[in-house]
Amino acid sequence: MSTACLDHRATTRMWEHLKTSKHVLWEYYHVFGQQWVHIYKDQLMALTGKSERAINDILQSYRSEDHANGVKIKQQKYSPDQVAVLFKAFDESQFADSAKITEIADKTGLMRNQVCTERTAMILT
């Protein structure tokens, strides 16, 4: 059995559990940290009834609390497809207006602030 199949099953079980959870974001954070929020933002918004911004703020508060307590936080990783779209978009132009950032966010499934952060990181490297 492939690793991808196992990962898919584990992810499916996790979402089934979160559907009945009273603390969706707390449990999500303890499984994934802030990783993959951009991929699962629609599911998280549906389960919590909160906006994307509210979800980010809550997860950030958990992260800040962990950081203050010395807990090591995983770096967020993007899929190869997301990275390819980001590099292609910013190879064309280092500067993007609001419409371009929205377009890139829609193509990658990232949030607009993540696109802006990655654009800045790519410019500085």
pLDDT digits (tens, 9 = 90+) for 32-66: 666 667 778 888 889 899 998 898 888 888 888 88
Tokens of 65: 């609390």
In a domain, residue 41? The reply is yes
Domain carrying residue 110: 80-124
pLDDT at residue number 114: 76
In a domain, residue 23? The reply is yes
Residues in the chain with pLDDT < 70?
Answer: 1-8, 10, 32-36, 72-78, 94, 117-125
pLDDT at residue number 33: 64
Output b/e per residue, 102-112; b: 16+ Cβ within 10 A. eebbeebbbbe
**Number of domains present in the structure of the chain:** 2
Residue 90: count other Cβ atoms within 10 Å of its Cβ.
Answer: 20
91 and 61: one domain?
no
Name the pTM for this structure: 0.50
Going through 1-125 in order, the beta strands assigned E by DSSP cover: none
Rounded Cα–Cα distance for residues 62 and 82 (Å) = 26
Contacts for 117-122: CB closer than 8 Å, 24+ residues apart: 118/78, 118/86, 119/86, 119/90, 119/94, 122/86, 122/87, 122/90, 122/94
